[in-house]
Structure 1
Amino acid sequence: MPFPEWLIEQIRQRIDLVELVGEVVALKRVGKNYAALCPFHSEDTPSFFVHPERGIFKCFGCGKGGNAITFVMEYYRMSFPEAVRFLAQRAGIPLPEEAERSPEHEAHQRVTALYQVLQVAAQFYQEALSRAGGEVARKYLNGRGVRAETVKRFGIGYAPEGWDTLLEHLRQRGFHEVLMEEAGLVSRSEHGKPYDRFRHRLIFPIYDPIGRVIGFGARRLREEEAAPKYLNSPATPLYDKSRVLYGLYHARDALRAQGYAVLVEGYLDVITLHQAGIDTAVATAGTALTEEHLRVLRRYCQQVFVVYDADRAGQQATLRALELALRQGFEVKVVLLPEGEDP
């Protein structure tokens, strides 16, 4: 059902457009307005403007413009009903009962449930790291020099060995296994039996730009295992590895302030660099760099330092990153590491 006009008007009045846009775009004040590089197309000179008094934005390069609802629809790829619900929740505006019964609301509720189950899973993994059974994971982190405050900041955890430890934990909290599977937390055997996707692995939560858990990266803790060294969440309604940058949530303020990113390969590269004070480090972690990754990064900075591993695969990845970043209009610098060294 359509939303009443009064609801739309309340959202427009209560939402601070500068704050909303500023969460994902580096805005610079220009008189009474704000300017930025457009988040919807590549450009070298800012042509994207936010007019807070009028509550609108406009890009004079690609032509996109509108209000807070339009921005959320375009940037987060939401439908109109999804954007209205997103902003109403943000502004603390209750929705009319008739809107609550719509199919779009059901879809929104499903997405909300995905965020909830992923957050509960992240908390479970974090608590498991400090319990009996997490010794191997703690020892590994100590060996890599990762301090306790860094573990807490990045939400690092441990997936226990059992085949259904997380599964049972989530069941006890009222989550259905179908939702767990949709969130990428459980897989199914050839007989259809669900089991934990991550087992006896170090867990790295992956966050979206506003700090919500959308997936996980997991490193094996037995080097002799034939299993993949790293296992990541599958594609889900929340997680698309071709456009998600690991560490972006923790780096976003520094990226805007300093104007450059340090692009590395893996989770621990990002974590140890942040711990060392290089807080603009981000990684693709689990997939090759794509143009979509760079489009996302372009919203925050215009310069990138590529710091990949010194092995042959790292060298090839560096050349590809250099080509893609130049094509997207970045100023690019390559940092060459001694052979055998990680960032």
Structure 2
Amino acid sequence: MISKSSIDTVFEASRLEEVIGDFVQLKKAGSNYKGLSPFSDERSPSFVVSPVKQIWKDFSSGKGGNVVAFLMEHEHFTYPEAIKYLARKYGIEIEETEQTNEEKEKQDTRESLYLVSEFANTHFQKVMHKTDAGQAIGLSYFKERGFTPETIKAFGLGYSLDEWQGFSDEALKKGYKLEFLEKTGLTIVKGEKYFDRFKGRVMFPIQSMSGRVLGFGGRILTNDKKAAKYMNSPESEIYYKSKVLYGIYHAKQSIAKEDNCFLVEGYTDVIQFHQTGITNVVSSSGTALTPEQIRLINRLTKNITVLFDGDAAGMRASIRGIDLILEQGMNVRVCSFPQGEDPDSFARQNTEEELRTYLEENAKDFIQFKAGLLVQDAKNDPIKKAETIRDIIQSISKIPDRIKQEVYLQECARIMDISESVLFSSLAQMGSKDSKKPSSGGGNSNSGSYGGGGSYGGSSQEPPPDFFEVIRNEDQPNNKVDVQYLLERKIIEILLLYGNREEDFEDLILKENDKGDLELEPVVQQAKVFEKIFLDLQEDEMQFGNETFKTLYYTIIDKLNQNPDFVLEQFVNTVDMHLSQEITSILMEDERHTLHDWERNNIFPKSKTEGVAQLVSETILSLRCFLIDQKVKEFQQVTLENKHDTNRNILEEVKDYYGLKMLLSRKLTRVL
């Protein structure tokens, strides 16, 4: 268990925008920050971070909360893991009681897999630096590759002894279970026998964006033709190859800072670039590039530069990944190295300045690169040239932005010496074919944005549905607004934002004037917002209909009563996760306008601190009026069900309620 004082210290030191900035590219938007959702596939920012309130909200997925909630959602940490991660980030020592054997047994499978992976990482490094075999074989190999001791340590490189059970026996001796050694893939179990998967290999730990070890890549150093040169950990509950990028932990900050990501193929390519001084580089961990990996980069930048070896065959095999990048709405540049060179060897032979100059001068837009590469194959063959043009248009059709599509088509027409109208027509035909394909999951295809033809292809087809502003579904019922829910939610928001503020409240009291008529006379009283709300609701004995709001209401009132120095940021960190998420959702609802940059269009939303007293009175009166209406409807229903036996008392109560409603309506009109 982590002590409460340690948890409080961690929360005080943590800056939400800094922590989330390690995982998501954030841009200033007024007093907040905005970025792309890390929980869904989107191209328009709907993720908002409030440094003032120290909470975040993802409007696309509905998730939200404080800094710990983000780490639990994004990195799948447990609460203690999130606290420990923050403590490491901010250099805080935490007080923790020793775990009992029973508590260790209760560790879930995921945590056990993480612990085994961390142990393996430490073990392989220790073996390489502390044993004769490790130094002679593993360390020598990395030194031959030109890696410095600082680089070797930074990337956690290690070595697995050329023994059948060396690692497994050591792990079992330390108390790690064979079950979890097998699930991570570090140990292969055959009946009663077991042996090390990475026997005799140099080790590259594969880390998550937060730095946790998920799996390993191992390179064999012998000339055994039966053994694979590189071997990766098998997939497990913590390691999914398609969702991981090698080097992302070391590169994330510079990717966001440089607003560009270099994408290479191998582990050593990444490491050599880092050592040279270019740190915004990652690799796809020995697998074909996947949409999930691209979206991982997309959180940090919209720009990818793909680096290819000088080998032409390898470039053609890898060029398929460009279409995937385009589909995600990202900007792609491509750079190839001289024949016989790869990113690793080229970086080793050049200084940082020389490498940066080469990349700047030789990185081409994807269409120039692809056209140049395919044209070499086509040469003077008209049929091959037509296939090449069709291949390029197919790539352009993946781009979701129509303006970019048109620009690329114009560029293609210039390079391939063909009319633009033919290219636009071909693109429209591709879009038309794609639109006829059955949709999987109901999503809109990004391919062929000109799918309906019309102006570009000269087609007489009807425009696709997305050309119309509104498509009405008659079968879909209109959802009714839950007025009581909204008003109760507004009361919670007011308490959270302004509960401790002192305001001058104008109360309206019925008094008889000189003519004997009753009229509303204003009386001004000073009170704290939470006191005003509490007394008004008590006076009418009003109860919250929503259980979550009821719990929040009494919790907040209690806190405000006990603590005159109520701090919202601290309060969010003291309630359970369910209530914390609800608070975040309430507080961040009004932050939606920051996503749209209204100020740039000379539209300035009114400050929420203006007219707090009026807002309180309006909300309470509106809730009272609504509840009276509900009560009257109940009486009406009773009357309808007993047509021949109408109770005179009910009619009197209805009359009284109508009188009260009239009075409240007059008060509400005055307030408005």
Contact 2:57 2:65 in 1 (8 A): no
Matched with 1:143 is 144
Deviation at 1:55, TM superposition (A): 4.2
Q: How does 1:21-36 map to 2 (within 5 A)?
A: 21-36=20-35
Distance 1:310 1:195, change over 3 A: same
Matched with 1:132 is 132
Matched with 1:121 is 120
| Residue identity (%) | 37
Contact 1:306 1:321 in 2 (8 A): no
Deviation at 1:212, TM superposition (A): 1.6
Q: How does 1:327-342 map to 2 (within 5 A)?
A: 327-342=327-342
Matched with 1:271 is 271
Deviation at 1:106, TM superposition (A): 3.6
Matched with 2:282 is 282
Deviation at 1:301, TM superposition (A): 1.3
Aligned residue identity for 1:231: M
Matched with 1:180 is 181
Matched with 2:563 is none
Deviation at 1:87, TM superposition (A): 4.1
Matched with 1:3 is none
Matched with 1:163 is 164
In structure 2, C-alpha distance between the alignment counterparts of 1:263 and 1:149, rounded to whole Å = 23
Q: Deviations over 1:222-280 (max 9, x none)?
A: 13432001011111111111110000011011111111111000101111111111101
Deviation at 1:44, TM superposition (A): 4.5
In structure 2, C-alpha distance between the alignment counterparts of 1:75 and 1:314, rounded to whole Å = 35
In structure 2, C-alpha distance between the alignment counterparts of 1:226 and 1:306, rounded to whole Å = 32
Contact 2:58 2:64 in 1 (8 A): no
Matched with 1:48 is 47
In structure 2, C-alpha distance between the alignment counterparts of 1:52 and 1:23, rounded to whole Å = 15
Between the two structures, name the one with larger relative contact order (CA 8 Å, sep ≥ 6).
1
Distance 1:23 1:93, change over 3 A: farther
Distance 1:21 1:11, change over 3 A: farther
Aligned to 1:339, the other structure's residue is in SS state: coil
Contact 2:255 2:280 in 1 (8 A): yes
Higher fraction of helix: 2
Deviation at 1:85, TM superposition (A): 5.0
In structure 1, C-alpha distance between the alignment counterparts of 2:171 and 2:42, rounded to whole Å = 45
Aligned to 1:239, the other structure's residue is in SS state: coil
Aligned residue identity for 2:117: L
Could you tell me the TM-score, scaled by structure 2's length? Answer: 0.45
In structure 1, C-alpha distance between the alignment counterparts of 2:10 and 2:144, rounded to whole Å = 51
Distance 1:255 1:188, change over 3 A: same
Q: Deviations over 1:126-156 (max 9, x none)?
A: 1222321121323322222122211111111
For residue 64 of structure 1, the aligned residue among 62, 65, 70 is 62
Matched with 2:322 is 322
In structure 2, C-alpha distance between the alignment counterparts of 1:42 and 1:168, rounded to whole Å = 44
Contact 2:254 2:279 in 1 (8 A): yes
Higher fraction of strand: 1
Deviation at 1:171, TM superposition (A): 1.7
In structure 1, C-alpha distance between the alignment counterparts of 2:72 and 2:210, rounded to whole Å = 16
Distance 1:128 1:85, change over 3 A: closer
Aligned to 1:214, the other structure's residue is in SS state: strand
Contact 2:39 2:61 in 1 (8 A): no
Give ranges in structure 2 of 5+ residues lacking alignment: 88-93, 344-672
Choose 213-222 or 176-185, whichever is displaced more.
Answer: 176-185
In structure 1, C-alpha distance between the alignment counterparts of 2:303 and 2:321, rounded to whole Å = 13
Matched with 1:203 is 203
Deviation at 1:73, TM superposition (A): 5.4
Give ranges in structure 1 of 5+ residues lacking alignment: 1-5
Contact 2:206 2:214 in 1 (8 A): yes
In structure 2, C-alpha distance between the alignment counterparts of 1:84 and 1:123, rounded to whole Å = 24
In structure 1, C-alpha distance between the alignment counterparts of 2:132 and 2:11, rounded to whole Å = 52
Aligned residue identity for 1:297: I
Contact 2:40 2:61 in 1 (8 A): no
Aligned to 2:336, the other structure's residue is in SS state: coil
Aligned residue identity for 2:150: E
